[in-house]
């Protein structure tokens, strides 16, 4: 199960990363409520998005799954593991934070871009790729364009501003409460925690805190790159994921 970040549809995963992961794994991508062909979002928390993910698993007859959550998707993935522990075989948390006072926010500019309903390509690439890897970022955008034209991925990148605002609003209670951080220590599923060394949105200290402070069965890997380190370093990232999921 692939859980994407704030203000994004399922079409915004890097097709090159998906091709690598799909060699050995069945990938399930979907739009959160309020996006794409999904219905409206009646909840206001990441718990409600975790509940919706579990309901989707019920609808497709999937009892358990490996969960990969990136950025805001990592919030949903953590709540899946806490609220629906029997549904999670392995948990992969990429570029996310544990919430509460233990979360360390990124730069004001990156936070502002991450909260925008319709950021420009230049703004998006500013947070996804380091300044010296912007050419790789532009290649990522061209991959999205080509894959959507060919039908490999849905040609749907529109995100309603109201949905983005609701997702951003849900971050307020996430950051005010230490509930999630406290609950992480009780998780039984094996956990892979992945960070980008130059991530301006989610500094890697957040992943270190998840791995070292609260989760006994976790391993931490820090990759070169910014917030889209899993796209930039997709081959080594996939190798790490493949090894982890064989455990």
Phi/psi-derived region of residue 151, left when phi > 0, alpha when psi is between -120 and 50, beta in every other case? left
In order of their start, the domains of the chain are 2-245 (3.40.50.1820)
pLDDT at res. 214: 65
pLDDT digits (tens, 9 = 90+) for 21-46: 999 999 999 999 999 889 888 888 99
Predicted confidence (pLDDT) at residue 59 exceeds the cutoff of 90: yes
For residue 146, the Cα-to-chain-centroid distance in whole angstroms is 23
User: pLDDT class for 213, splitting at 50, 70, 90?
Assistant: low
Other C-beta atoms closer than 10 Å to the C-beta of 80 total 28
Q: What angle do CA 7, 232, 35 make, to 5 degrees?
A: 20
DSSP line for the chain? -EE--TT--GGGS-HHHHHHHHTTS---B-PPTTSTTS------SHHHHHHHHHHHHHHTT-S-EEEEEETHHHHHHHHHHHH-GGGEEEEEEES----GGG-----HHHHHHHH-SS--HHHHHHHHS-GGGHHHHHHHHHHHHHHHHHTSS-S-----HHHHHHHHHHHHHHHH--HHHHHHTT--S-EEEEEETT-SSS-THHHHIIIIII-TTEEEEEESSSTTHHHHTHHHHHHHHHHHHT-
Strands lying side by side in the sheet with 88-94: 2-3, 65-70, 88-94, 191-196, 218-223
Predicted confidence (pLDDT) at residue 70 exceeds the cutoff of 90: yes
Bridge-based pairing state of the strands 65-70 and 2-3: parallel
pLDDT at res. 42: 86
Q: Among 18-27, 90-99, 118-127, 205-214, which is the least confidently predicted range?
A: 205-214
User: pLDDT class for 93, splitting at 50, 70, 90?
Assistant: very high
Tokens of 75: 């919030």
CA–CA distance, 139 with 141 (Å, rounded to integer): 5
CA–CA distance, 26 with 1 (Å, rounded to integer): 9
Q: What pTM did the predictor assign?
A: 0.95
């Amino acid at each position: 199960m692939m859980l994407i970040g704030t203000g994004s549809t399922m079409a915004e995963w890097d097709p090159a990363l998906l091709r690598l992961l799909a060699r050995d794994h069945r990938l399930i991508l979907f739009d959160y409520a309020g996006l794409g062909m999904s219905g409206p979002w009646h909840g206001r928390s990441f718990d409600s998005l975790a509940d919706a993910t579990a309901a989707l698993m019920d609808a497709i007859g999937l009892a358990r799954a490996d969960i990969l959550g990136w950025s805001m998707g990592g919030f949903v993935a953590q709540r899946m593991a806490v609220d629906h522990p029997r549904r999670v075989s392995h948990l992969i948390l990429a570029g996310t934070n544990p919430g509460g006072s233990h979360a360390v926010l990124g730069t004001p500019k990156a936070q502002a871009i991450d909260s925008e309903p319709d950021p420009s390509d230049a703004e998006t690439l500013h947070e996804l790729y380091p300044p010296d890897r912007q050419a790789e970022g532009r290649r990522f955008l061209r991959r999205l364009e080509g894959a959507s034209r060919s039908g490999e991925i849905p040609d749907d990148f529109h995100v309603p501003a109201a949905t983005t605002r609701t997702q951003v609003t849900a971050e307020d209670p996430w950051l005010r409460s230490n509930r999630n951080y406290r609950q992480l220590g009780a998780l039984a599923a094996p956990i892979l925690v992945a960070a980008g060394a130059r991530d301006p949105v989610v500094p890697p200290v957040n992943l270190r805190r998840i791995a070292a402070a609260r989760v006994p069965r976790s391993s931490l890997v820090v990759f070169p790159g910014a917030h889209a380190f899993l796209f930039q370093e997709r081959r080594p990232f996939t190798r790490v994921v493949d090894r982890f999921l064989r455990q």
